[in-house]
Amino acid sequence: MQAITRTEFDFPGQTGKYTGKVRDVYSIDNKYLVMIATDRISAFDVVLPKGIPYKGQVLNQIAAKFLDSTSDIVPNWKIASPDPMVTVGYKCDPLPVEMIVRAYLTGSSWRSYKDGARDICGVPVPEGMKEHQKFDNPILTPTTKAEIGGHDQDISREEIISQGLVSEEDYIKLEEYSMALFQRGTQMAAERGLILVDTKYEFGKIGDKIYLIDEIHTPDSSRYFYAEPYQELFAKGEAQKQLSKEFVREWLMANGFQGKEGQNVPEMTDEVVASISERYIELYESITGTSFQKAPYGNDIYERIDANIRNMLARL
């Protein structure tokens, strides 16, 4: 099956195109965005050589679900999802920070803690904590939004405001929105027997109004644990059962690749690609609680996407 790894559309009113690691984003009349979630997959800041069938649909539909279910908390950029792989929405001026909310000491925060850090992005962390331990309350650890090809950098609330990246008034709103979104995501995850461990949110503005942009609560932007075995595994000091794309990173590391200079991506056989695709579908069904309906793949898939987008743009 041929994954969708590249799009080259020319829509009415198109004023630009941005190609990210996973998404192709078309600007329309400098007012709207057409975001196509392709089947590209990245790890260690590297786009892997083969796409994963249905991955784009999985990410797009999870993000659409959570954008719809949190629109009462903060307005978001989404207008509609006219195709399983597409979201059309408002073009916002992105704010140059990512708001990362962490409920557990895991991942990069644990690695920093293990190396002696007791302060994460200006937030004090108590002594004596263990890997995967829950914080008393979720903490906010922002990062700068990297330029294309760069790495995000940890930054404190005070540095963001003093450097003028975001005004204090806006930053207070970002904090409030991020914590409320995380609380909603935590509740929805709990209903599915999951723990929302950490996630990131991005925001933008139209005029003076703040909007939630990009994707939320997908396995590419969030980490989930299975709730049922959490306490037992934590007590034993064992690895948690995770629901994220961590399994892709683990496969790469097991085959000698961590994105470092001189390393080569291991061969992605048809069997490997199929297994990753199946895992993404499993993620979808676990997170949403609904059965995944595979959109047709065939020679006319590009025509389908193009027609659905054009019909949507004609209604704007």
The reply to whether 5 falls in a domain is no
Same domain for 308 and 283: yes
Q: How high is the pLDDT of residue 121? A: 84
- Using CA atoms, how far apart are residues 16 and 30, in angstroms rounded to an integer? 8
The reply to whether 148 falls in a domain is yes
Same domain for 111 and 64: no
The reply to whether 25 falls in a domain is yes
Q: How high is the pLDDT of residue 199? A: 96
Residues 247-291: tens digit of each pLDDT: 898 899 999 999 999 999 999 999 999 999 999 999 999 999 999
Which tokens go with 190?
């709990």
Domain containing 72 equals 14-92+274-315
Q: How high is the pLDDT of residue 62? A: 96
Same domain for 230 and 306: no
Same domain for 101 and 226: yes
Q: Which residues of the chain have pLDDT under 70?
A: 1, 146-151
Same domain for 150 and 122: yes
Q: How high is the pLDDT of residue 294? A: 95
Same domain for 139 and 105: yes
Same domain for 106 and 168: yes
Residues 249-258: tens digit of each pLDDT: 889 999 999 9
Q: How high is the pLDDT of residue 146? A: 61
Q: Is 116 exposed, middle or buried (0-12, 13-18, 19+ CB in 10 A)?
A: exposed
Q: How high is the pLDDT of residue 4? A: 95
The verdict on pTM exceeding 0.85 is yes
Same domain for 120 and 32: no
